[in-house]
């Protein structure tokens, strides 16, 4: 069970972002119809999730994490909450309830991660051997 001991919130954060991004890319047209959002918005969400997921996983797998890198991660999550909220507000007339549910759920998920990572930034930035 050594693997489980070394898994931390950064693994979960990065894996979730990467997985969501890849699924959104793979199913972009279908998700666009399901959410009743323009395809370019779905591709934007997919791209941002993949980039973020790669960054978080790179930190998770790193033997040395700077405090600045963890701060950037937490701040990015905080900014993403506002991006999700902006999408909800901009498309309130056209988006489907399923679209609101998923985008709102993503905002909630990354908001919780932002708070957790900020509160634990000093621990997350420690060297791993």
Q: How many CA atoms lie within 13 A of 107 on its CB side?
A: 16
Give domain status of residue 3, yes or no.
Answer: no
Residue 30: inside a domain: yes
Q: What is the pLDDT of residues 56-92, one digit of tens each?
A: 999 999 988 899 999 999 999 999 999 999 999 999 9
Q: How far is CA 36 from CA 28, 33, 76, 85, 123, in A?
A: 11, 5, 26, 16, 41
**129 in a structural domain:** no
Does the residue 2 lie in any domain? no
Domain of residue 117 covers 8-124
pLDDT tens profile 33-60:
999 999 999 999 999 999 999 999 999 9
Name the domain count of the chain: 1
Map residue 121 onto helix, strand or coil: helix
| Residue 29: per-residue pLDDT | 98
The pLDDT value recorded for residue 126 is: 77
Q: What confidence score (pLDDT) does residue 3 get?
A: 41
**Cα–Cα distance, 28 to 3 (Å, whole number):** 33
For every residue of 79-112, DSSP letters joined together read: HHHHHHHHHHHHTTTT--HHHHHHHHHHHHHHHH
**Does 84 map to a domain?**
yes
The residue behind tokens 């985008």 is 103
User: Cα 91–26–23 angle (5° rounding)?
Assistant: 70
**Residue 2: pLDDT band by 50, 70, 90 thresholds?**
very low
90 lies in a domain? yes
């Amino acid at each position: 069970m050594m693997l489980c001991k070394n898994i931390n919130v950064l693994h979960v954060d990065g894996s979730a972002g990467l997985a969501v991004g890849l699924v959104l890319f793979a199913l972009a047209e279908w998700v666009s119809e399901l959410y009743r959002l323009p395809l370019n918005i779905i591709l934007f969400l997919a791209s941002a999730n993949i980039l973020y997921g790669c960054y978080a996983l790179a930190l998770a797998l790193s033997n040395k994490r700077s405090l600045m890198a963890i701060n950037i991660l937490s701040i990015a999550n905080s900014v993403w909450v506002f991006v999700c909220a902006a999408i909800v507000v901009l498309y309130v007339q056209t988006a489907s309830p399923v679209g609101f549910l998923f985008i709102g759920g993503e905002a909630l998920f990354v908001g919780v991660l932002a708070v957790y990572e900020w509160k634990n930034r000093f621990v997350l930035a420690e060297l791993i051997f």
